Amino acid sequence: MVGSAVFHILFSLMVASFAAWRLPVAAGASTVIRSFLFYLLAIIIFTLFCVDSFLYWWEALILLLVYIVYCIVVHFKEVIEDKICHRWLKREPEGEFYEGLGFRFYGSAASQDQEMKTDNEYTEDNQSQYRDALLQGYKRGCGYKTYWFLALPILAPLWITMPNPNRPSSQNWFVLNILVCTAWIMGISYLMVWWTSTLGSVVGLPAEVMGITFLGLGSNVPLFLTWILLARKGYLNPVLSLALGLNILDLAFETPFTSLIQMAIFSSPYLLVNSRGLLCSMVLLVLFHLMALISFRVCGCRPTICSGVTMIVFYVLFVFITIAFSYAFISCPI
């Protein structure tokens, strides 16, 4: 959980920095502040609940409540942000945004226009740039033909089992596509974890190191593509919101929800949790989030080559710290 959370925040900022460093864009403060505060709240609550090695059913429900409140706040983000800017910062909008406390806050009108523009551009791009990967891939250049041939064992089963949503006759089959995609993701994820663990055992690397390197890179390819597409269009807020939102989803929804299912299956009011090194892990998690966000703020909340290189340095540092913990070079004092 710690590795994937650090991976999300560092690589989202790194990808956004390298993909949009030529664009005159900047991220708004509301997305970062809102998501980070809720994530920090979830970390504190989770640590307090699990420090005794037990997670009770009512504690899991409180974590779920945190996620529900977060979703409500995100839904009403424009209204809340306008009230904060008017009443607390005592600022009037300067065009499409507010300036205050060294940050830039976007108002409701700007946020709605940006979201509408994003949806329209995505729809237009999707309609104009779509190509059937299986039927048209072999017609392109030599390099793409090689890629098509190597990817054919994966593309062919996907093409057979999922209706093409771009065909007029298959547009109503989106529910089936979602279910089939979910099944494919579950199967591929299982195989990826299994093969990565086996490879780590063969080469002598701990599972933690394999998880934050090979498995992290392989399982987050769709996220990379999403971050790149959003960043190239200048939408940094969705990039940061996606990265931090995934971390909140993992800690405040997936963990308590699966715990409640296990409690229901085994008719137990609590779930045993391995709390060894929990405090150190949570401190490390918060520290790297703060390092990433502060360094991005120092760069003016803008995508730059400097911020991208900084994220790479932070990630290498995190990998070294993980290896040091795995091989007991350093130990958690608490």
pLDDT above 90: residue 69: yes
List of domains in the chain: 2-130+223-326 (1.20.1420), 133-165 (no CATH)
Query: What is the pLDDT at residue 65?
Result: 95
Are residues 282 and 47 in contact, defined by beta-carbon separation less than 8 angstroms? Answer: yes
pLDDT above 50: residue 49: yes
pLDDT above 60: residue 128: no
Report CA torsion sign: 11, 16, 22, 25: negative
Which helix or strand (DSSP H or E) is residue 177 part of? helix 174-203
Pick the range with the lowest mean pLDDT from 127-136, 139-148, 236-245: 127-136
Burial of 143 (0-12, 13-18, 19+ CB in 10 A): exposed
pLDDT above 60: residue 66: yes
How sure is the predictor about 130, in pLDDT bands with cuts at 50, 70 and 90? low
Mean pLDDT, residues 171-193: 84
How sure is the predictor about 61, in pLDDT bands with cuts at 50, 70 and 90? very high
Closest CA to 310 of 291, 328, 287, 323: 291
pLDDT above 90: residue 204: no
Pick the range with the lowest mean pLDDT from 69-83, 180-194, 215-229, 298-312: 215-229
Does the pTM exceed 0.75? no
pLDDT above 90: residue 26: no
Query: What is the pLDDT at residue 138?
Result: 61
Residue-level length of the chain:
334
Query: What is the pLDDT at residue 262?
Result: 92
Per-residue pLDDT tens over the stretch 240-296: 888 888 889 999 999 999 999 999 999 899 898 877 778 888 888 899 999 988 888
Using CA atoms, how far apart are residues 12 and 2, in angstroms rounded to an integer? 16
